[in-house]
Amino acid sequence: MQKTYILKGIDCPSCAEKIVARLNKLDEVNEATYHHPTEKLYLYFAEEFGEAELPSLEAKVKGLVHRLEPNCSLIDPRLYKRDESAEAAQQKRELRDLIAALLLFLLGFALRLAYGSFDLFPSLKEGLPELGFGHFEAFLGRNLYGELASLLFFALAYVLASKRVYKAAFKARGWQKLFSENSLMIIASIGAIVLGEYPEAVAVMLFFAWGDYLEQKAVAKSRNSIEESLSFIPETAIRLRDGQVEKCEPEELKVGDIVLIHPGAKVPTDGRVVEGRSTLDTQAISGESLPVPVGPGFEVLSGSINGGGLLKLEVTKVYADSTVAGMLALLDQAAARKSPTERFITRFARIYTPTVVIIALIIALLFPQFSNYGYSVWIYRALVFLVASCPCALVISVPLAYFAGLGAASAKGILVRGGAALEELAKANTLFLDKTGTLTEGNFAISKLIPAPRVSPDELIAAAAIAEYGSQHPLAEALRRSLRRLCVADGCTLCEVERRDDSIEQLALTPQIVYRIMHSIQADLLNAEEIHGRGVRATYRGVEFLVGNARLFAENGIEIIPVDSDNTVIYVAKDRKFLGAICLADLIKPNARDTVAALSHCDACRIESVIMLTGDKSEVAQSVCRAIGIKRFQAELLPEDKLHAYESIKPATGSKVFIGDGINDAPVLMASDVGVAMGGIGQAAAIEAADVIIANDNLEKFHQVLHISKETKKIVRGNIAFALGVKILVLLAGAFGHVGIWAAVFSDVGVALLAIFNSLRILPKKEQQTGG
């Protein structure tokens, strides 16, 4: 059982990770993870606990969180609404205090320069005076009023800059009072005051407060950017009931309800247009900015925006099963699934900070015993160590980079299952491609009907369409579309009809009768079985229909008349009587060749090998590969054969990616290093099996998400190298007295701020999100 909460009141991600560490020690919790950019805590309770035990489990978790962080609370995300006005007012007050503190500090600094000698960094000089009254004596020898005024300005600036820091530090408990970044800054500033470095004490707190404020703004910007990409979430629905119009929540809608979609409104749940014509903006769902025309009979996905006339929609899915709900669930899972790098940084931070604090204590207490310098010098250097020890630059920027990468992908209609999938995708160098629905349109068109002797074309196509009624395979959809076209006229106007016998018996099964049968078939269809890699067996009103490839008919002992064709051929039988064959042609996608070429020749992509795996026959596969430019393929594969073919190829380095349509390819999608489902929104198989889900059938989207993954990994590596490099440099330089607390503060909040802004580079630009 998995539950998600908003963890409100956390001042730094390091404190949150300490809560997570304690939660992971509970017997009732299998795993706990925290996602700082969204403030969400994900708890995975042990399997033996169910909904009945949830209240007691939540009470125990909330009690633990309150003991560790009294000011922190767990909130159900469904009940949480961000108070934007209160947050804006709070930020305005903080900004006002910080500006006032900065002005006061500059005034005090100017007075120090004007009255008496002033050295910016006296603490860095050798022979720093011991603790005592040396500074007070020097103070008496200067201009009394100028010194008093400067001290007053420094004191006021310190109070304004440190209000929030002290408040947060005193709310912490246990070891957090020592290891939190707020506590470290307080220790450093008080130490500077004791040493007589008043300007430096104020500057440390001021720099930290400004950095913390900008850091929060940057994280909020990333959160808002993701929320903008989730702008497709409908808030209300307008339902027609008994001739009356009423507003309701999308969750209240039931299958069969009729809803009105006004121009500019969001579609609340998946449905079918029953009246009206318009165009829909589906960019938030598919990433495509071109409007989609719709009319009666068209299926509409929730989250689409009505750009034209009034639409009347029949609900086909409740909100919980809708496209929007599926996307939100995927995005929520993505935030919870941390990459190996994120998990390493979390473990590293838990060890790193206490280690540095222990070293700082050794520097302050033991080094004076073996040095010509006194305690004041080594205490100051220990303070530098303490300030530089906070790992927030890593703990914030690394998850934020993955969060930004996931947001950039979702804005393009690509859903990635967390940082782990994004990181694995960045290592991809071997690409496996399914054919149907991936490289080809998957919208098959009947190119030829070949009825058996004494069988009409109508009976052939009707039998095939009835059998394929409930299937989601592209071939089944092609047959259903053909049936709709068949009902336009009193005869088969589909294509060229090849007759093997001039004396064809004309049966009474007219297109109009077939059409009526198809509209009532759902209640009468007794049994339907999809046989992976072979075809479909269905029983309708006691009559058995069989539709599939030659292998299916051979296994069932039904003799067929083989058809030799480069196109896909399916055979049809009714009550074990062979009715004929249907040839279907599948067009290659317009951008398939260019995308495969780009992936193969792009140095940044580093795709060394492209292989097509298909269940289609070898001649068809060879024809498609020749047209697209793929050198390697394996054909006539059942789903288990595809899995074996995938596993048999083991590259020396990197990871393997499989791209399929999410229907028949579920075994390979689940087994692959990275499984990518094309057009998978709303497909249960794709959602369950794939690591990456592309909302439409555009193969170019894979190129885009591959670029995003590699860019994200580059940013993460850059942040780690920069943050650790600067910290190690400051720690070493501080230990030998070459830098002061100012540099240590920069290595904490300054580096964190730069790393955060570096992470935000991958976020989609606003105009890209809106299609402008």
Residue 56 CB coordination number (10 Å): 11
- 501 burial level (CB within 10 Å; 0-12, 13-18, 19+): exposed
Q: Three-class SS of residue 85?
A: helix
Q: Specify whether 27 is catalytic.
A: no
Task: Give the residues across from 693 on adjacent strands.
Answer: 415, 677
Q: Three-class SS of residue 704?
A: helix
- Residue 362 near residue 379, CB atoms below 8 Å: no
Q: Phi then psi for 308, rounded to 5 degrees? A: -140, -115
Task: Give the residues across from 613 on adjacent strands.
Answer: 434, 634
Active-site hit among 212, 434, 691, 748? 434
- 443 burial level (CB within 10 Å; 0-12, 13-18, 19+): middle
Q: Phi then psi for 472, rounded to 5 degrees? A: -100, 5
Closest CA to 474 of 440, 435, 442, 445: 442
Phi-psi region of 639 (alpha: psi -120 to 50; beta: other; left: phi over 0): alpha
Residue 626 CB coordination number (10 Å): 11
Rounded distance between C-alpha atoms, residue 755 and residue 715, angstroms: 9
Burial 567-596 (b: 16+ CB within 10 A, else e): bbbbbbbbeeebbbbbbbbbeebeebbebb
Q: Phi then psi for 45, rounded to 5 degrees? A: -80, 155
- As given in the structure block, the two tokens for residue 541 are 């009103």
- As given in the structure block, the two tokens for residue 407 are 């947001």
**Could you say which DSSP state residue 503 is in?**
-
Sequence-separated (6 or more) residues with CB below 8 Å from residue 91: 213, 216, 217
DSSP code string of 111-133: HHHHSS---S-GGGSTTPPPSSS
- As given in the structure block, the two tokens for residue 671 are 């087994």
- Residue 462 near residue 580, CB atoms below 8 Å: no
- Residue 380 near residue 128, CB atoms below 8 Å: yes
* DSSP H or E stretch at residue 311: strand 311-315
Write the single-letter amino acid at 624.
V
- Residue 292 near residue 413, CB atoms below 8 Å: no
CA 582 to chain centre: 42
- Which positions are catalytic? 434
